[in-house]
Amino acid sequence: MLADTELIFRILLGVILVSFITHRAYYTRKYKPDSQDSSTPTPAQRIAGLLAILGVIGTIIYIINPAWMAWSSIQLPVWLRWTGVIIALSGFGLLQWSQNSLGENWSDSPHLMFGHRLVINGPYQWVRHPIYSSFLLILGSTFLISANWFIGGSWIMMMALDISARIDMEEELLISRYGDQYRDYMTRTGRIFPNF
């Protein structure tokens, strides 16, 4: 019974990771930028890239044979691991809602496109960067689903580094384009979590 449950979580983790990558690839291909992004990665983004590689390797090893990742496994109750699946699914819901709200204003790298408009509807009425919120939910759920601190920690640290660097760049661009309109929007919304 325990082996069957572990197999289910291994399959679900693989499906979640492949779905996340597929979703990103679809939108990156659908909304190609109207200019080349010439920014160089920050040191934090380079470290995030290395952590992503570790996360992918750890996840693949876990899916193939969890015994090979037993050195970093933690004991979590099954209900908490299922909670991770629910968190991931809610992250995908938020991700799609955010993408739909942004439409053609979305780009994979922080830059403003010609005709870019400030989007403040959908989840953007509460959070300035809900796509990053969804990334944290989806990739952060790997910690609970895998019950493995190495896998979950790699993904969480990767996202934290990458998101913090991207948000700073994006908000500088948005302030330079929209000025006080964006500053006012910042006072009413949270960065990645709603203001309560």
Lowest mean pLDDT among 70-79, 90-99, 116-125, 139-148: 116-125
Residue burial 13-33, b: 16+ Cβ < 10 Å; e: rest: beebbeebeebeeebeeebee
pLDDT at 132: 94
User: pLDDT tens digit string along 16-62?
Assistant: 999 999 998 887 777 665 555 556 778 888 999 999 999 999 999 99
Q: How far apart are CA 131 and CA 112, in angstroms?
A: 16
Distance CA 142, CA 145 (A): 5
Architecture of the domain defined by 2-28+45-188: Up-down Bundle (1.20)
Does the structure show a pLDDT above 90 at 168?
Answer: no
Pair of tokens at residue 193: 């979590």
End-to-end Cα, the chain, rounded Å: 43
Q: Where are the domains of the chain?
A: 2-28+45-188
